[in-house]
Amino acid sequence: MDVHYPAGGGARAALVLSADPRFATSAGERVADLEDVAAYRPGAFYLRELPALRAVLAGVAGLTLLVVDGYVDLSPDGARPGLGAHAHEAFGVPVVGVAKTAFRSATHAVRVVRGGATRPLYVTAAGLPVADAADLVAAMAGPYRLPDAVRRADALARGRATPLLAPATGGGRS
């Protein structure tokens, strides 16, 4: 899942579904556009993102895992929950956070280097051990630093791609 905020306002959330934990095959894609979003507030980014995630997940049943672009939590003790922690609480499924940049206080994030990249991804998790989440991210389909599903969700959220398949309504991962 990913969310983008166009210059003209609002938000676009994107979802890539797969029944395969490697996300090698897609079970569906969807986007949801929101006209109104909360203003950005440092430390409360989830207030801006969660409504978009709810919108793109509406009608999708049987999820067993969410992969979000960002951090699950921003501190090792969990005192600074990130988007992923709030998504875990809101949707009741394990959440893997895949962040592209280091966050100073997220010293617990597991670094995952994929493909021929030299820069790591920073993986955090809720509802499953972070080592398992890191292994999952390392094994996700695609030859690049960012797994294919994460790249695809970003392209959909930015409007650079159109969903290829009808949204799935039964089981899957996103």
Convert the pLDDT of each residue in 87-139 to its tens digit. 999 999 999 999 999 999 999 999 999 998 999 999 999 999 999 999 999 99
Residue 41 tokens read as 């507030």
User: Is residue 91 assigned to a domain?
Assistant: yes
Question: For residue 32, what is the domain's CATH number?
Answer: 3.30.2170.10
User: Is residue 138 assigned to a domain?
Assistant: yes
**Spatial CB neighbours of 81, under 8 Å, sequence gap ≥ 6:** 46, 72, 73, 74
Q: Residue 145: what pLDDT?
A: 97
User: Is residue 169 assigned to a domain?
Assistant: no
Asked if residue 169 has pLDDT above 50, the reply is no
Number of compact structural domains in the chain? 1
Least confident of 61-70, 133-142, 161-170: 161-170
Residue 98 phi, psi dihedral angles, 5° rounding:
-120, 105
Domain that holds residue 31: 2-161
CA distance 74 to 106: 5
Full-model pTM: 0.90
Convert the pLDDT of each residue in 19-31 to its tens digit. 998 999 989 999 9
